[in-house]
């Protein structure tokens, strides 16, 4: 009996402990659950904060574009240029809300475009956040065109063109690349192009979606428009100097800063550490582009050319926009250097051979260097999960040429061509 009593006592003890423990464990279960929720929503909040601020930086790029365009053209056209740029933003905001987002991120129609959520119907805070970040990109694409067409565009026609760009040209190509749907023409697993190439097109922050589209639409515009009065005399390009280099350089620095948001924010996740790689690469490429352009003009003309050096910064930035999350630091520098060379050659080529008049070099910067950036992914990409990309979730999937891969390069060529054809052809049609 004694023993039994002992057991009894022990058992009771145990039960008491258990009884006290069991609800405690259950309560802990609950607090863990609520904690997990808190942590999750804190992660979401961090992403919201990050993307709003990055979006703000991208918005600042409009100030940058305005200044570059005003500074690098003649004083008499300043008011006109500024109005055009301001209206580009305003129309961008309104039209991307009305239509653009719906075409880009609405329910997929055959991988070609989206079609729902017009006027952001049914939006919640996550959608407003995403819309804001995407909207500033769309407006940026549109504003590129204004630079190339500066000093001679009819204001009304320009407004209409901008509206169509933000409503259709930009978001359709954007849908192919960033919509994330299975059929998305250039990136969806179910797309015939992706399956054919054996890799998915990668355009991190928009060398293609934003810059190529803007740049080649600008080319179309410039061709339809013709050069400024007096730009060519007997076929020879004449110099029409800008009027305020301080505005131009301030603009370039604001654009550079804006790119911190442009590329840094494009992982779309405040907790994705690879934003740091993207930003480091962005700054390296910009600096390399500027130095390359400066040295080139120095060698070619005997003195470093300020406005082409400024273009060199932008060239590096545009080119690194697609590959910044997929390549090593040294590759970013190489990409920037080549971009600096491309922008110099491109500006000269446009003037001397194509005889198109692009006052601020928008076509060479955004068009040509945008294409170069897309191809650079296919050349320098480390491949998601390899080497420095261990743990990365948003980078080019396959390694580039230099790392033994071919598929990624092929699909980049296809995507780059698609951007050129789409923006240029539709641009031409719309304009004429």
Partner 1 sequence: MAEMSEMRKVEAIIRPMKLEEVKSALADAGFVSMTVIDVRGRGQQKGLVQQWRGREYCVDLLPKTRVEVVVPERDVDQVVELIRNTAATGNIGDGKIFVIPVERTIRIRTGEEDDEAL
Structure tokens at 311: 């273009």
Burial of 344 (0-12, 13-18, 19+ CB in 10 A): buried
Q: Name the nearest CA neighbour of 169 among 420, 372, 432, 365.
A: 420
Compare residues 70 and 319 and give the one whose CB is closer to a second copy: 70
347 is a site residue for partner 1 (CB under 8 A) = yes
- Three-state SS at 231: coil
Residues 57-116 that bind a second copy (CB under 8 A): 57, 59-60, 62-63, 66-67, 70-71, 78-79, 82-83, 85-87, 89-94, 97
353 is a site residue for partner 1 (CB under 8 A) = no
Q: Please give the C-alpha separations between residue 37 and each of 30, 94, 268, 339, in angstroms, as whole numbers.
A: 11, 35, 20, 45
Backbone angles phi, psi at 232, to 5 degrees: -120, 130
Backbone angles phi, psi at 229, to 5 degrees: -50, 125
Residues 236-255 that bind partner 1 (CB under 8 A): 237-242
CB of 411 to partner 1, least distance (A): 35
Compare residues 56 and 237 and give the one whose CB is closer to partner 1: 237
CB of 307 to partner 1, least distance (A): 5
346 is a site residue for partner 1 (CB under 8 A) = no
Count of C-beta atoms within a 10 Å radius of residue 410? 18
56 is a site residue for a second copy (CB under 8 A) = yes
For every residue of 262-276, DSSP letters joined together read: HHHGGG--TT-TTHH
Given candidates 158, 204, 344, 424, which one binds partner 1 under the rule CB under 8 A? Answer: 344
Structure tokens at 236: 């020879």
Tell me the C-alpha distance between 369 and 380, whole Å.
Answer: 15
- Three-state SS at 49: helix
Q: Name the nearest CA neighbour of 405 among 428, 391, 385.
A: 385
Choose the binding region for a second copy from 191-199, 213-221, 254-262, 348-356 (rule: CB under 8 A): 254-262
Choose the binding region for partner 1 from 121-129, 149-157, 341-349, 399-407 (rule: CB under 8 A): 341-349
* Residues contacting a second copy: total by CB under 8 A: 112
Compare residues 131 and 344 and give the one whose CB is closer to partner 1: 344
Choose the binding region for partner 1 from 54-62, 63-71, 305-313, 422-430 (rule: CB under 8 A): 305-313
What x-and-dash track marks residues 171-210 binding partner 1 by CB under 8 A?
A: ----------------------------------------
420 is a site residue for partner 1 (CB under 8 A) = no
Structure tokens at 176: 């192919």
Residues 281-300 that bind partner 1 (CB under 8 A): 297, 300
Given candidates 163, 206, 270, 427, which one binds a second copy under the rule CB under 8 A? Answer: 270
Query: Which residues fall within 8 angstroms of residue 273, CB to CB, at 6 or more apart?
Result: 391
Between CA 89 and CA 95, with CA 94 as vertex, the angle to 5 degrees is 95
What x-and-dash track marks residues 121-160 binding a second copy by CB under 8 A?
A: --xxxx-xx-xx--x-------------------x-----
Compare residues 128 and 192 and give the one whose CB is closer to a second copy: 128
CB of 83 to partner 1, least distance (A): 12
Compare residues 256 and 409 and give the one whose CB is closer to a second copy: 256
Q: Which does 123 bind (CB under 5 to 8 A by kind): a second copy, partner 1, none?
A: a second copy
* Residues contacting partner 1: total by CB under 8 A: 18
What x-and-dash track marks residues 214-253 binding a second copy by CB under 8 A?
A: ------------------------------xxxx-xx-xx
Tell me the C-alpha distance between 201 and 79, whole Å.
Answer: 41
Compare residues 39 and 345 and give the one whose CB is closer to a second copy: 39
Given candidates 158, 176, 178, 256, which one binds a second copy under the rule CB under 8 A? Answer: 256
- Three-state SS at 429: helix
Query: Do residues 371 and 357 touch, judged by C-beta distance below 8 A?
Result: no
Q: Name the nearest CA neighbour of 281 among 322, 325, 250, 318.
A: 325
Q: Name the nearest CA neighbour of 204 among 426, 381, 422, 342.
A: 381
Q: Which does 300 bind (CB under 5 to 8 A by kind): a second copy, partner 1, none?
A: partner 1
Query: Do residues 363 and 148 touch, judged by C-beta distance below 8 A?
Result: yes
Query: Do residues 88 and 143 touch, judged by C-beta distance below 8 A?
Result: yes
Residue 104: strand pairing partners: none
> What is the binding site for partner 1 (CB under 8 A)?
237-242, 297, 300-301, 303, 305, 307-308, 344, 347-348, 351, 361
């Amino acid at each position: 009996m004694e023993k039994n009593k002992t057991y009894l006592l022990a058992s009771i003890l145990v039960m008491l402990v258990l009884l006290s423990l069991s609800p405690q464990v259950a309560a802990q279960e609950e607090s863990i659950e609520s904690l997990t929720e808190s942590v999750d929503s804190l992660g979401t909040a961090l992403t919201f904060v990050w993307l709003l601020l990055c979006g703000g930086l991208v918005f600042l790029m409009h100030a940058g574009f305005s200044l570059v365009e005003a500074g690098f053209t003649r004083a008499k056209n300043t008011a006109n240029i500024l109005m055009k740029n301001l209206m580009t933003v305003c129309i961008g905001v309104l039209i991307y809300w009305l239509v653009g987002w719906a075409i880009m991120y609405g329910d997929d129609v055959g991988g070609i475009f989206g079609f729902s959520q017009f006027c952001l119907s049914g939006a919640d805070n996550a959608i407003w956040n995403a819309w804001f970040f995407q909207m500033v990109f769309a407006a940026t694409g549109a504003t590129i065109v204004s630079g190339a067409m500066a000093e001679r565009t009819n204001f009304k026609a320009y407004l209409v063109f901008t509206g169509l760009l933000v409503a259709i040209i930009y978001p359709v190509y954007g849908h192919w690349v960033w919509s994330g749907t299975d059929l998305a023409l250039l990136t969806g697993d179910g797309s015939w192009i992706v399956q054919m190439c054996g890799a998915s097109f990668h355009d991190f922050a928009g060398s293609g979606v934003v810059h190529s589209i803007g740049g080649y639409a600008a080319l179309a515009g410039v061709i339809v428009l013709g050069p400024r009065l007096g730009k060519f005399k007997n076929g020879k390009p004449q110099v029409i100097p800008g009027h305020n280099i301080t505005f131009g350089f301030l603009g370039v620095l604001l654009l550079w800063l804006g790119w911190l948001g442009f590329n840094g924010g494009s992982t779309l996740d405040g907790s994705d550490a690879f934003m740091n790689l993207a930003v480091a690469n962005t700054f390296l490429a910009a600096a390399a582009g500027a130095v390359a352009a400066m040295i080139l003009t120095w060698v070619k003309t005997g003195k470093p050319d300020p406005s082409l050096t400024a273009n060199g910064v932008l060239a590096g930035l545009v080119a690194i926009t697609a590959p910044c999350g997929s390549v090593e630091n040294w590759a970013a520098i190489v990409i920037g250097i080549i971009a600096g060379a491309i922008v110099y050659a491109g500006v000269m080529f446009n003037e001397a051979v194509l005889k198109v008049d692009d006052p601020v070099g928008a076509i060479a910067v955004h068009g040509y260097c945008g294409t170069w950036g897309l191809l650079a992914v296919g050349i320098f990409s480390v491949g998601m999960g390899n080497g420095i990309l261990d743990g990365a979730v948003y980078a080019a999937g396959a390694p580039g040429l230099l790392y033994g891969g071919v598929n990624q390069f092929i699909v980049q060529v296809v995507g780059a061509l698609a951007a050129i054809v789409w923006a240029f052809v539709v641009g031409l049609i719309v304009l004429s």
